[in-house]
A and B are shown apart, each in its own frame.
Chain A
């Protein structure tokens, strides 16, 4: 049996709308106009123990609604959801004791206290036996290099330091399932790498299942074997990163550096314009339709090309096109 089973999950929010202005506010006291928004529209998936899954989608697609349902703090309108045999929202306290949740945008640490005090409070809140807590703490301190931070008040930590501490805080009770919501947002390059390396070790060595929501495609490429894409409350695709790539054929990106930054562009058959920044022009093409050599020959004849290079279509582009296609549908 899979660790997480989700079947036909449905959730609709009632959003009350207020008409603008003072008169609108007064009207709002008496009668509210409500709009129904379908956040989840029949979401189904299974996740096995030890998987590292990226859960991505544009803003408002239903990502955080799914995570809220899985973590037991939101009751869906319909569908089935079982995590390790528990229905999360029916036994919230038993459930949340077995999971960890990290929000990149906000800390769960006590702002005015030294880091280690927060860790001790969490030990008491989660009722972790002191020897087990000590063992977990020592391990996390070593893995995340927290020793010099333990006595520093949280408000004095840099964002990267704080994120490492927040990761430790979410794992002190030894959860088997970890939700990470944009764990690398706003971090510098070194901190990003440290956080990614830690997540990978945690997943490989401790078999902790990780569900990662992010807008950073580098996170996904570095970490995840499996990507689920959600848009408008429905799973658009679910599979390996490779499968997501091939969804648009094996497309390549051709970037040209033109001699004249103002040269007018002519639409090129068999390609799609990805973007232009002055002299730099990016095109997507499928080598099965038009070979790179042929395309380069044609472009070289048309423009004064200073430089050019061909690469695999970046995952950002793949995802952006997926969202676009969905929005157009």
Chain B
């Protein structure tokens, strides 16, 4: 069985296991929906009070909100296996993955597909569809393709962040909460257009973690709004590729982590 089919099969197994505890899954999904719903309510309240944010309307911000939450929900649902790495290393269960004739990244990716993330996903999707409809930019095939490309780029980047966070466990099993500044903090940040932030902050989220590339820039092309910061249209369209590059880099780092693990044995 090739790697892609095996990954789908492993994730299917994880889903089946979760469905054995159906009530728990339903409650967690509903809870997740409520939490993210309250979040968007906060955004709405902000606009109800001030009308607009640095020249951006609520509909525009809803598209940013939608793209980032859909992408993060997809990455978070599919990448939960990487969250288990630190615990598996501590308990010695990571060895079992090394004892099987497959890449470790593939096996870790296949450990878990979290269904409860459907809460955030549907919330993001609703924001996205409402925002785009309210802006009246239309739903031509070009726009749908661009939207799909944006989601692929942003999902890859968030997935890459999870891989990086897991990789750190090969060096230290100390708490990795610090990395949540980048994941959850990144989601919060990207819910608003980058132009509202200070320059140094924008730089961090462009060159260190390419959040601006996978979200801010291509969404501008999507909603047909020129960049107040001056990025040309072609750059806006190419920008999601940064997410794929980031993921590739994260996987290379992962391989380095596994090499370190097999040479230190801890």
| Bound Cα distance from A4 to B201, whole angstroms | 57
Residues of B within 8 Å of A11, CB to CB, are 265
Return B80 CB to nearest CB of chain A, in Å. 16
Return B46 CB to nearest CB of chain A, in Å. 38
Check if A96 sits within 8 Å of B98, measured CB to CB. yes
Main secondary structure of the interface of A (DSSP, over half): mixed
Check if A113 sits within 8 Å of B13, measured CB to CB. yes
Check if A13 sits within 8 Å of B266, measured CB to CB. yes
Residues on A facing B (Cβ under 8 Å)? 11, 13-14, 65, 68, 71-75, 89, 92-94, 96-97, 99, 101, 103, 106, 108, 110-113, 117, 121, 124-127
Return B2 CB to nearest CB of chain A, in Å. 9
Indicate whether B188 reaches chain A with its CB closer than 8 angstroms.
Answer: no
Indicate whether B1 reaches chain A with its CB closer than 8 angstroms.
Answer: yes
Return B38 CB to nearest CB of chain A, in Å. 32
**Contact flag A125-B99 (CB < 8 Å), given A75-B262, A113-B17, A117-B13:** no
| Bound Cα distance from A96 to B95, whole angstroms | 12
Check if A106 sits within 8 Å of B101, measured CB to CB. no
Could you write out 30 A-B pairs with CB less than 8 Å apart? A13-B265, A65-B265, A73-B98, A73-B262, A74-B265, A75-B263, A89-B262, A92-B98, A93-B103, A94-B101, A96-B98, A96-B99, A96-B100, A96-B101, A99-B99, A101-B99, A103-B96, A106-B92, A106-B93, A106-B96, A111-B17, A112-B16, A112-B17, A113-B13, A117-B13, A125-B1, A125-B100, A125-B102, A126-B101, A127-B1
Residues of B within 8 Å of A103, CB to CB, are 96
Residue of B with least CB distance to A117: B13
Indicate whether B134 reaches chain A with its CB closer than 8 angstroms.
Answer: no
| Bound Cα distance from A97 to B98, whole angstroms | 11
For the complex with contacts A73-B98, A74-B263, A124-B5, 14 further pairs of A-B residues with Cβ separation under 8 Å are A13-B264, A73-B95, A75-B263, A89-B262, A92-B98, A93-B103, A108-B96, A111-B17, A112-B17, A113-B17, A124-B9, A125-B6, A125-B102, A125-B107
